[in-house]
Amino acid sequence: MKKIEHYVNGAIVEGNSGRLHDVLNPTEGKVQAQVSLATKSEVELAIAAAEKAFPAWSSTNPQRRARVLFNFKALVEKDMDNLARMLSSEHGKTLPDARGDVQRGLDVIEFACGIPHLQKGEYTEGAGPGIDLYSMRQPLGVCAGITPFNFPAMIPMWMFGVAIACGNTFVVKPSERDPSVPMRLAELMTEAGAPEGVLNVVNGDKEAVDTLLEDPRVEAISFVGSSDIAQYIYANGAANNKRVQGFGGAKNHMIVMPDADMDTVVNQVIGSAYGSAGERCMATPVIVPVGKETADKLVEMLIPRVKSLNIGPSLSEEADLGPLVTAAHKQRVADYIQMAVDEGQDLLVDGRDFVLEGYEEGYFMGGTLLDNAKPEHQSYVEEIFGPVLQIVRADNLEEAIALPSDHQYGNGVCIFTRNGSAARDFANRVQVGMVGINVPIPVPLAYHTFGGWKRSSFGDTNQHGPEGVKFWTKVKTVTQRWPDDVLSSDFTIPTMK
């Protein structure tokens, strides 16, 4: 059976802990590989490799660092099909979704190639008599990323792309559910010209995570996963004097106004709610029609579309969605559906009994549609993370704004309307970090920044864009004066002289 190890100091390193985790094929419901789970000492070796590589890499000029990323981008594009198949076979998302996963990561690599401009500081000439001020953005040192199962290509590249461009060295701890893509990305980074130790991958569980949190050589950590773990990462990392950003769960709402184009709404929500089997922090698991007529029309149009979803194996080019990642996660989603029914929601389409012919052991689930969810329902409050769409009816725009604003999560929200005034008012007042107007999944492009509010985000700096450069660097400010024989030499601090 295939065994997945670690990638340290420019080479694959065999794990010696004796602890292994099964890597499943969600389409077939079978174990396809095993991944080594690192010990504390193995993680420390990766940190040491990154620490050793840092002085030379951080002193490499930004143009040369950018050239490595340009090379990396070209190699990833060349390897796209292989990466997509690798990703689909371990995660379960379809091939088009897998290619999108890789491409959205590459978008940030493209942004990071502009680091010679992005890392420039500021300069003020003549701040005082013969005094100039300037600032420099300098790398932090050894940095780390703890990445989720649902985007095994995109999220690692969001993290290490900007961090490495800024002159840091990096250790990735990917999800043990689908570790092959991060391993391959590290190989491609070395092939692109990154020195040994600049990008390392250690596979592991809580032991590996806690080692990264506690080791004083790690200066900064970025995390994406559940909110409870994000809060744990943030609290423990900060307690160990690290810079930390932790991105957690979501319950994104789509508001549908009475004047919205309903055909567009249905087409968009089918993809955003059920694509990638709903296993996306920017999925749309809640739709809020405003007014009874809007809600009734939406239900009428959604039911046949949800029933006709094309569900297929992960390597399919045509399927709308593939299997969920594990049998345990499938059961968790099914339990939430039953919870919603028990809470009094109307089960309009039930996907729990779906079986894909020829793949009876796979972790497949059909699309589920629930109506009349209420703000007090636990299944509405919590993140389901599956192909489940809940309808929460609102009487007016005020109620619609209050639903996502009052929710514990604040990742993304969107509104569909033809009314510019209503859209502008909504975008201004809704208490959510990322807003879409007639856009169902409002993930900003790489040169802007990604991040939610409330329990969707811990820390005060977002992913990628200018905020990413800010997170992965520290500012040094220099006040300089070059006196000559004519100038007085008694200047110390600003005075009234």
Which residues carry out catalysis? Answer: 281
Structure tokens belonging to residue 290: 């405003």
Contact present, 169 and 50 (Cβ < 8 Å): yes
Helix, strand, coil percentages for the chain (3-state, nearest 5):
40, 25, 40
Phi, psi (rounded to 5 degrees) for 49? -65, -40
Q: β-pairing, 453-454 with 434-437?
A: unpaired
Contact present, 87 and 178 (Cβ < 8 Å): yes
Contact present, 353 and 330 (Cβ < 8 Å): no
Tell me how far apart the alpha carbons of residues 247 and 115 are, in angstroms, rounded to a whole number.
Answer: 24
Q: β-pairing, 123-128 with 142-146?
A: unpaired
* CA quadruple 87, 246, 227, 30: dihedral, nearest 10: 20
Tell me how far apart the alpha carbons of residues 290 and 297 are, in angstroms, rounded to a whole number.
Answer: 11
Instruction: State which amino acid sits at residue 432.
Output: V
Structure tokens belonging to residue 127: 């701040």
Tell me how far apart the alpha carbons of residues 341 and 226 are, in angstroms, rounded to a whole number.
Answer: 24
Contact present, 458 and 409 (Cβ < 8 Å): no
| Distance from chain centroid for Cα 302 | 29
